[in-house]
Amino acid sequence: MATFFRTLLGFLYLTDLYVSILGLGIGINYGQIANNLPSPTRVSYLLQTLNISRVKLYDADPNVLRAFSNSNVGFIIGLGNDDLLTMNDPVKAQTWIQQHVQPYLSQTKITCITVGNEVLSGNDTQLMSYLLPAMKTVNEAIINLGLSKQLYVTTAHSLIILGNSFPPSSGTFRQDLAQYIDPILSFHSEFNSPFLINAYPYFAYKDNPGEVSLEYVLFQPNLGMTDPGTNLNYDNMLYAQIDAVYSAIKAMGHDGIQVKISETGWPSKGDPNEAGASPENAGIYNGNLLQRIEQQQGTPANPTVPIDIYVFALFNENLKPGPASERNYGLYYPDGTPVYNIGVCGVLPQLNISGSKKNDFCVVTFFLLSLVLLIRA
């Protein structure tokens, strides 16, 4: 009996640990490029059992926003790249907010609108020219509607916009993108909005598995890398990438802009030529990342600013184009089964519980089963 209690207490301690990690405000990307995902109502229940309080969408899906009404979940919603030209029109921008944002604000917490995603990573210079005007127009509409204290406007970038990222203290933006990035940074400075980056150490490892240390990209024990410019030691690539962006911002003459990670993750499966894509590595990456968040770590160059991260992604998305890895970043399969174990437990209720086995990986089930065993003992 004493052994059982010790086991139960140990389990509950570990559970509390992970609940506290998620309670710190880690975000999750909720992509929906799939034809087999659970309904938003069921997803809402899952995320609340996971104690996740921040969600990032790539659109403003009304079904999702309604499903999360009266919850404690804060949303980033998005305007797609195809919407940029339309959002240059002040009337259309204000109408979009009135139709897609305002109706839900009384019951669903919306904190941010991303205007476009990785626009500066492509070759479409016309699309790039639409980006900042669209951001400004959407922001002006928010101000005109009296919503500026609730919402801020930003956009997300990939690390391709960096011309140099090593060492971190020498980070710079690409010269050919300076004409777009510099005024965007001025926008962030004026309205105190963050600079969003989609950062994936996995890509660096996949492209050069013989040269990039797996331990370094997975937050595992390693000698790390010392920046010769600052003498700061980096024991993982993600922190080096974040500080390289801070350096690039400073090199362009701006300061005081916070860098947030709008996407990071690791695929659990990939094509034969996608080195490192496995459930083991994905579990290690995201599990160690959660521990860093629990510790409220900052980066070596910004130790007092805790990392702010949205993990990619909640579910595997079976309709995403590209290599196999693109369809396998999820923490969960669409049926609610964890793809791998990082200690995070949640419940995805079945549509017909009486007709099928419930996917329940939560503490409640374990605790109730424990009580039954105790009674029988």
User: Alpha-carbon distance 198 to 178, whole Å?
Assistant: 19
Residue 128 dihedral angles phi and psi, to the nearest 5° = -60, -40
Give the active site residue among 211, 263, 274, 280: 263
User: Alpha-carbon distance 19 to 116, whole Å?
Assistant: 33
Give the active site residue among 118, 215, 280, 326: 118
Beta bridge partners of 157: 197
CB atoms within 10 A of CB 375: 7
* Maximum pairwise Cα distance, the chain: 73
Residue 78 dihedral angles phi and psi, to the nearest 5° = -130, 150
Kindly give, in sequence order, each residue whose CB lies less than 8 Å from that of residue 30, ignoring residues fewer than 6 positions away. Answer: 43, 55, 56, 57, 64, 313, 314, 315
Q: Does residue 118 have an active-site annotation?
A: yes
Q: Does residue 317 have an active-site annotation?
A: no
Residue where the block lists tokens 């980056």: 197
Q: Could you tell me how far CA 353 lies from the centroid of its own chain? A: 31
Active site residues: 118, 263
